[in-house]
Structure 1
């Protein structure tokens, strides 16, 4: 439709109708709302707040505030330049400070070195989107972007997250498409990954020009993230919940991209920023009413609604894009935090949230289900977290000179018993899989056409076994030290080799099991080393399986130093930390 048609219409967006303004009916954001940088509401059904009463008056006042704050935001940001280094946030603490309590003085006095600047006004909207008409040329939604974003949805996402396949009847992965289209913050983070992997897929040599293109996309993503953080933290996060969720999703996406290309120098900074935003989001719900962590998480989900009305007449609703993004990004963040704790030998930063978010409650599903995102059941990651806590306690006692081995074994025994019981039960469940659930009609639609089969979802029990055996190895090292020749260690290493070589298919799923693969490889005896090399070498090209290559590099370093004098005092954290930066094998 012609964007410049200014005829008053009764089919315009509900925002213009409420404000009694002309609407050009352009979707998803009409010209009037775009120019004012306010929320544009489009829906076939009349919103609940258009009731002619208190709700409508409240919404009218809210829109007035948006217009007022948008104009103030334009004045404040119109002459400000966002400065960022090519491949880092300013430093490891800088982004965390931005995400917590950045002040105008901090922003104005920033003097970091930089390679390019951006001057991109922000659209004042409930999801803190950037107005496309105000974005610089390198941020425009071009034909090339469409191809790269489609490539991301059809190929990169299934490759990076083969187990993330929510039913389309519940919205599927449509939230990712919606956010890529409507949010430059998410779009730029996505383009970083897409440009890199698309070049590899086309067989383009990884020369300096190719890498410079990837860096340019990364710089754009950092610039947009920086601006969004500045805008959100110039006021209360409760006013920008949707925007904060989009930033969280973008940070986690950039984290995954940089890990994939073996750029670990920013891992800690990304993690700190995401942790700060996550805590602020949950704290924002407590500002309304003090509640427990489980209720706070559910409250944020509710505030990010309402759910999308797909078929209003039939009462069919699916989660909103921000609701799905928050649940997905929270799962990745908790997962990364737990794995990071095995390297830092510190308590997981989100440990206090584990019980409420990862455990079932009253027979209901946990609020976060790792199995549907990374392919490993929650109980394994919970046990890894407990072992990390045990290791933290052990290191504290060693530093204080009062480590009691009997006490250590006493603390470790229930963890080991629980792990072995869960592993036994998992084997029984695999022998009796029970009834299959799902839509028969949907399966008929996909027969012969789906590029990405449902095979990975059937592999989650096997993947969970790999993680469980590696977790028992981790516990063994914490309690008994470095003993590759022990019968118990040899058993778990052999089980992992068997699962990876004979039972798990396709082999590319190893990308989701790099941490357990590396743990087992580090503890492998000389006779078993060739198995681990063969498993890693089978995944080609190596540029696509960067984390597997990094794991092999860590293993090779351990194997070269098997006879070193400090071999007995070695632990897994030492193996990972020898690489310098936080090595996040996710």
Structure 2
């Protein structure tokens, strides 16, 4: 998927939003999904080279941009393949640009209140009539288009309570509940240096970005309702549903606008949308709604690639695409003699979300038996280059050092190569073993180094003030987390090379080590971040370690907070039931995951 297609925008964030909320306990009007056939779309979309949904009398693409929708069997007079056609194309481009400014804040349309003249602020839309039109006023801020001069951004008033950015009186509570409790729960290993701003970027993005604010508020609503012991029903649960509907609607609108423009015009907005998709991906996975993992992942990957591809046009230089985007996202110096230089909120959000995306992409590749979509960027983003720290620090976000996940990506590439060769009848076992040996040697060398560093150099924080201020830290657990992932990676490699060998001495050793290290990790809530390695080890475990792994998960309470681990146990139990039956010679880990959906993303 090379762009953000209209099909993804509608299906994932309009129709699917209705489906998801139905699953959470309510019912929304359901729109019919139609297959796109761009060659039969309206003449306006054809001229703009956009996919058309072929709705009559006005397609959604033209409707969203207030363009005249030309339908009919005969070509309009201006569709002459010459001068008139080019003039019409220019006219449409001007209208799209002009109406984009009008819709997003620089024009006061009738019925809209609280309008600002700042073009970087998204304004609420008036309600549109017509059976085929989305009611764009269903959420307070329909779209999130951020001007590239982010320092001019003002907070958007949303209702008659002064200049509040909150839509409901309870929103400040949910916002702080998310920052103080939900975010640390979802990302326990993410502890950015306090003197570099810590997690302040999350608050800033929530305050200035409607799309990210809605994505986080719906999560705050959900976990707050769990904390209050609220079941499906009642006013608080209605708030959960409302926040979720708003989040999907805002995302749908933001994606629609970004997909119809040069991404360089909306660089900050694109980063905010990508961050929001990753947030909603984590939320969906946390509540075990796994049906749309693939769609979310593809959309985030498309945005990330577009951002990197735009780098050369933004600023031709010797920087990598990632570094160029980071530089372009920077704001005028925000530092002072007291605070020093601080990165912009968008810079930190882009680095954080990109790291999550790389991680998700690698894990997805192990399930799909495909090369990671971002494999070509692994060297530049995940490895030390000329002694410099990696641009993406997986350990700082998910607790596992980069080298393990780099090698898991290499194993996925090897598995994909093996599957292609088997299908073509050209598999060379000597070549398979040669490639696997290089991966195994790298993993074992790093493991030995990790043991040496852990024993000889325990981590110490020399800043005594910060040591006192920090009430708890998961930094000390990261080496253990890396050990779990490394042993699971070696199990994964063994299955790719040798097949399903549960009685193998090597497999049993690595399974036992995973169980032992998991038992050492404290607090036990951190285990929710290790669903994939736990599942990999569990699928090949014999009776005793299998029981231990099941007990580890069962002891985690409340059950609703550890859904991914319970899904992992479900996958493991299915593998145990079929361990001695079927085609064992062709059994692999991807087969275990595929039995439970298109993409069981245990992240």
What TM-score do you get using the length of structure 1 for normalisation? 0.78
Q: Could you say which residue in structure 2 is the equivalent of 1:259?
A: 285
Alignment correspondent of 1:238: 264
| Residues 447 and 486 in structure 2, CA contact (< 8 A), matched pair in contact too | yes
Q: Is the 8 A contact 2:459 2:476 kept in 1?
A: no
CA distance in 2, matches of 1:297, 1:397: 34
The question of 1:306 aligning with 2:323 is answered: no
Post-superposition offset of 1:244: 0.5
Structure 1 residue 143: Cα displacement: 2.8
For 2:374, the equivalent position in structure 1 comes to 350
String of CA shifts for 1:452-509, please: whole Å, max 9, x gaps: x01x1111001000000000000000000001111000000000111111x2111111
Alignment of 1:430-441 (within 5 A): 430-433=454-457, 436-441=460-465
Q: Tell me by how many angstroms 1:526 deviates.
A: 1.9
Consecutive unaligned residues of structure 1, counting only runs of 5 or more, are 1-81
Contact 2:499–2:585 under 8 Å retained in 1 = yes
Partner of 1:126: 147
Task: Identify which of 420, 426, 439 aligns with 1:396.
Answer: 420
1-side partners of 2:279 and 2:237: how far apart? Answer: 18
| 1:506 pairs with 2:506 | no
Name the SS for the 1:191 alignment partner.
helix
Compute the displacement of 1:565 (Å): 2.3
Q: Is the 8 A contact 1:163 1:375 kept in 2?
A: yes
Which of 491, 494, 502 pairs up with 1:476? Answer: 494
TM-score of the aligned structures, taking structure 2 as reference length: 0.76
Partner of 2:41: none
TM-aligned CA deviation for residue 145 of structure 1: 0.8
2:244 paired residue number: 218
Q: Distance in 1 between matches of 2:523 and 2:146?
A: 44
Give the Å deviation of 1:84: 4.2
Task: Say if 2:561 is the partner of 1:544.
Answer: yes
- The answer on whether the counterparts of 1:102 and 1:233 sit within 8 Å (CA) in structure 2 is no
Query: More deviation in 559-568 or 182-191?
Result: 559-568
How far the C-alpha of 1:167 sits from its partner, in A, is: 1.4
Q: Would the alpha carbon gap of residues 319 and 105 (structure 1) be closer, same or farther in structure 2, given more than 3 Å must change?
A: same
Which residue pairs with 1:461 in the alignment? Answer: 479
Q: Does 1:279 align with 2:296?
A: no
CA drift of 1:136 comes to 12
Structure 2 portions without partners, runs of 5+? 1-12, 21-30, 37-44, 62-129
Q: Deviations over 1:280-330 (max 9, x none)?
A: 1111111134567x621111011001265232x457111100000000000
Within the alignment, does 1:527 sit opposite 2:544 as a pair? yes
* Partner SS state of residue 248, structure 1: helix
Distance 1:85 1:115 in 2: 16
Counterpart in 2 of 1:339? 363
1:553: which partner in 2?
570
The alignment partner of 1:172 has SS state of: coil
Aligned counterpart, 1:153:
179
C-alpha distance in 2, partners of 1:172/1:368? 17
2: CA distance between counterparts of 1:88 and 1:308? 45
Whether contact under 8 Å (1:83, 1:117) holds in the other structure is: no
- Write the distance in 2 (CA, Å) between the matches of 1:467 and 1:222: 33
Judge conservation of contact 1:122–1:130 (CA < 8 Å) in 2: no
Q: Deviations over 1:374-417 (max 9, x none)?
A: 00000000000000000000000110012121221111101001
Mapped partners of 1:93, 1:441: distance in 2: 60
Secondary structure at the aligned position of 1:316 is classed as coil
Kept in 2: contact 1:189–1:250 (CA 8 A): yes
Say which SS state the counterpart of residue 513 (structure 1) adopts.
helix
CA distance in 1, matches of 2:50, 2:388: 42
Residue of structure 1 equivalent to 2:5: none
Contact 2:144-2:209 within 8 A present in 1 as well: no
Distance in structure 2 (CA, Å) of the matches to 1:369 and 1:212 = 38
CA pair 164-87 structure 1, distance change in 2 beyond 3 A: farther
Match in the other structure for 1:581: 598
Confirm or deny: 8 A CA contact 1:380 1:464 kept in the other structure: yes
Q: In structure 1, what is the Cα distance between the partners aligned to 2:178 and 2:240?
A: 15
SS of residue in 2 equivalent to 1:436: coil
- Written as runs of structure 1 = structure 2, the 5 A alignment for 1:139-218 is 140-207=166-233, 213-218=239-244
TM-align CA RMSD = 3.0
TM-fit CA distance, 1:546 = 0.7
Q: How does 1:317-328 map to 2 (within 5 A)?
A: 317-328=341-352
